Chains A and B, each alone.
Chain A
Amino acid sequence: MADVMTRLEPDTRAVARGLSDMTIRNLFIIPTIAFLIIFNVFPLLYSLWQSFTDFRASTTAPANWIGLANYRDLLGDEFIWRNFTITAKYVLISVSGQVVVGFGLAMLLNRAIPMKGLITTLLLLPMMLSMAVVGLFWKLLYDPSFGIINYFLGLGKFEWLADPQVALFAVAIVDIWMWSPFVMLLSLAGLSAVPKHLYEAAEIDRASSLYTFFRITLPLVAPILMIAIIFRTMEAFKTFDHAYILSSQPTTELIAIRLYKMAFLEWQTGMSSAFAYIVLIMVVAITNIYVKYLNRAKAR
């Protein structure tokens, strides 16, 4: 990676004035890392320990060490497997939807457009709302009797949320609506950094617009787009509020919903910690792959 090669050794003092580079580096980095460690270590270790016990936070009964029993039970539960499949499908639909819509909007906006600042702000509005409010109002919008979606689109009594096959898409559409602006804003920042002269050169070479897109635009935007995808994927795995409010279909029971019920309705604290660790391992694995791609995109 070219990046690392040009980076400074902080202990070779590049400048003899002011604070040394070493001091600056440490001052800039250590507080953040120390804060995150202090803040996260106790909850993480605590729930890791709980995941090997039959602890229930709602009772006074002591927690018994039961080894891997929670993990075994979870991986043997047919409903849990269904939660995983549903979540995988949901993450795929919603993240790819956000990338297509968000990046598409960014491409459209990346030119001289009147009132660009206002238009961008307006397009960002959906993600500024609270998830619970979004859930409540989209439930209303989807409603076959009171909703404007069927009314404006002339879909009659189409049942967005009551049809088990459609419900997951309906939930994903809300997520796409809400978070495409996030991808859009980051992509826009990346796109505006693509130097104009590269396009001009491509034009002189009579390169096709597809070629220009894949050879010039995409590689240059890739790093920041990748960061957007990483964060949206991580968040999509945790989707709870609007999905919980919109639908209670078994076909839309995402991991986070099952996890919430296990932890806060049933108070199976130990079991839910084990569940969360399984999810964590999955998300870490997936994110790792993404980060590899990100580093490769940067190296190019």
Chain B
Amino acid sequence: MAEVKTTREVVMNRAAIAAVFVALIVMLTPIYWIASTAFKPRSLATTAPPTVFFEPTLTPFAKLFVRRSQMREPVDQETYDAAPWWEQLIYDDGESVVRNRRSGEITPSGYWDRYKNSLIISIISTFLAVSMGTLTAYGFSRFKVKGENDWLFFILSTRMLPPVVVAIPMFLMYRAVGLHDTHLGLIILYTAFNLSFSVWIMKGFIDEIPREYEEAALVDGYTRLQAFIKIVLPEALTGIAATAVFCFIIAWNEYAFALMMTNRNAQTAPPYIPSQVGSGLPDWSVIAAGAFLFLLPVAIFTFLLRNHLLRGMSFGAIRK
């Protein structure tokens, strides 16, 4: 793209960069606060006035992964010295590690198991929602369908009912067919949640891709399926990336159904993270640590897709 830059453009560009910088600060301050709290000792998490500078510690992360309880009497020096560094950090913070009485093993907290479940469920359901959504969007975009506006509105409407109301019948239904407390159950649930979104966004993007290109390909001897795969899909990548990011976020953070539909087999992390509030004093730094680690996969996923997200709809140029 050859650009002839006028002075006005240069000034506008600089002003925009400055404005983006300000927006970044505003949007990221709360995130920074969560991230920094994850590295604070418990005593500095809430102070009046707030503590901005501090010496970072890994204690919150050590605590996140093991089951702990309020220390009632100081730990004896021998046990303390024999303990690994992370266990010492927990003792330093006035908590003791809950052990299995018989084996003496440390009891892990639910975090890591739930984290794994979250990964399995979110990745698969995102894949399903995006692929089904893309195919359906293509179908609606390119072919005549009887009552298509009504069908599309039906698809949209599946996202309108307040979830609390379908929760009870859904729960009964899941119990009846044995999907309760299974990974598959949550995968199906989140796929259904995300489908309406995925279909609508993908249709928005595919509508923008001029059909002349496909038709040219058909004339060149492609089958319809080949044209879809080789012409349409690459052009829809921005939409697919954006949809995947959104679907992943929704599935990753879903709380209410994750809480109700699972017991011990398929529990995900979101209902667990805030539970550190329970012990009479909120352990803000552990909550922050849990939230921080939980943010990483989505952030990395988005960062990897960034170029696709930003590419835009390149064919739009010849849109009528």
Give residues in A with beta carbon < 8 Å to B: 2-4, 6-10, 14-15, 17-19, 21, 24-25, 27-29, 31-33, 35-36, 39-40, 42-44, 46-47, 57, 105, 108-109, 111-114, 116-133, 136-138, 140-141, 143, 145-148, 151-152, 177, 180-182, 185-186, 188-197, 220, 223-224, 227, 230-231, 234, 237-238, 240-241, 255-256, 259-260, 263-264, 269, 272-273, 275-276, 279-280, 283-284, 287-288, 291, 295, 298
Contacts and interface: CB of A to CB of B under 8 A. Distances in A.
Contact of B27 (A27, A123, A220, A280): A123
Contact of A33 (B151, B164, B274): B151
Contacts of B224: 14-15, 18-19, 21, 24
A31 B299 contact: no
Contacts of B159: 231, 234
Interface of B: 1, 13, 16-17, 19-20, 23-24, 27-31, 33-34, 37, 46-50, 52, 132-133, 135-136, 138-140, 142-145, 149, 151, 153-170, 172-173, 188, 191-192, 195-197, 199-201, 204-205, 207-208, 211, 215, 218, 221, 223-226, 228, 238-239, 242, 245-246, 249, 252-253, 255-256, 270-271, 273-274, 277, 284, 287-288, 291, 294-295, 298-299, 302-303, 306-307, 309-314, 316-317, 319-320
A291 B46 contact: no
Given A108-B19, A147-B50, A44 B207 contact: no
Given A14-B215, A189-B309, 16 more contacts: A29-B135, A29-B136, A35-B195, A108-B20, A113-B17, A128-B299, A133-B294, A148-B29, A186-B242, A189-B238, A190-B313, A193-B208, A193-B313, A255-B162, A259-B162, A273-B165
A36 B155 contact: yes
Contacts of A192: 310-313
Nearest to B305: A121
A122 to B, nearest CB: 6
Nearest to B152: A291
B201 A186 contact: yes
A247 to B, nearest CB: 16
- Most chain B CB within a 10 A radius of its CB, from A2, A119, A133: A133
- Most chain B CB within a 10 A radius of its CB, from A2, A24, A120, A141: A24
Contacts of B135: 27-29, 32
The 3 closest A-B pairs by CB, nearest first: A192-B312, A18-B223, A193-B316
A295 B207 CA distance: 12
A109 B20 contact: yes
Given A44-B161, A105-B23, A39 B253 contact: no
Contacts of B132: 31-32, 35
A190 to B, nearest CB: 8
Given A234-B160, A288-B153, A36 B195 contact: yes
Contacts of A276: 161-162, 164-165
A2 B211 CA distance: 13
Contacts of A27: 135
Contacts of B319: 193, 220
B186 to A, nearest CB: 13
Nearest to B274: A132
Given A132-B273, A263-B168, A117 B27 contact: no
B81 to A, nearest CB: 36
Contacts of A146: 46-48, 50
B310 A117 contact: yes
B306 A120 contact: yes
Tell me whether chain B's interface is mostly helix, strand or loop, or mixed: helix
B299 A189 contact: no
B49 A151 contact: yes
Contacts of B157: 284, 287
Nearest to A231: B197
Contacts, number: 304
Given A18-B224, A126-B27, A141-B33, A287 B156 contact: yes
B302 A124 contact: yes
B162 A126 contact: no
B207 A133 contact: no
Given A105-B23, A130-B270, A272-B165, A117 B160 contact: no
Contacts of B204: 223-224, 227
25 contacts: A3-B207, A18-B224, A18-B225, A27-B135, A28-B136, A29-B145, A39-B158, A42-B169, A43-B173, A47-B168, A108-B19, A108-B23, A116-B310, A119-B24, A120-B306, A120-B309, A122-B27, A124-B302, A126-B27, A132-B271, A132-B274, A151-B49, A182-B246, A190-B313, A280-B161
- Most chain A CB within a 10 A radius of its CB, from B165, B201, B299: B165
Given A33-B155, A259-B162, A276-B161, A25 B143 contact: yes
A118 B155 contact: no
B144 A279 contact: no
A241 B205 CA distance: 31
A124 B304 CA distance: 13
A113 B14 CA distance: 9
Contacts of B30: 126, 137-138, 141, 177
Contacts of B151: 29, 33
Contacts of A188: 309-310, 312
A39 B193 CA distance: 10
A113 B306 CA distance: 14
Given A280-B160, A283-B160, A291-B153, A133 B274 contact: yes
B245 A124 contact: yes
A95 B192 CA distance: 24
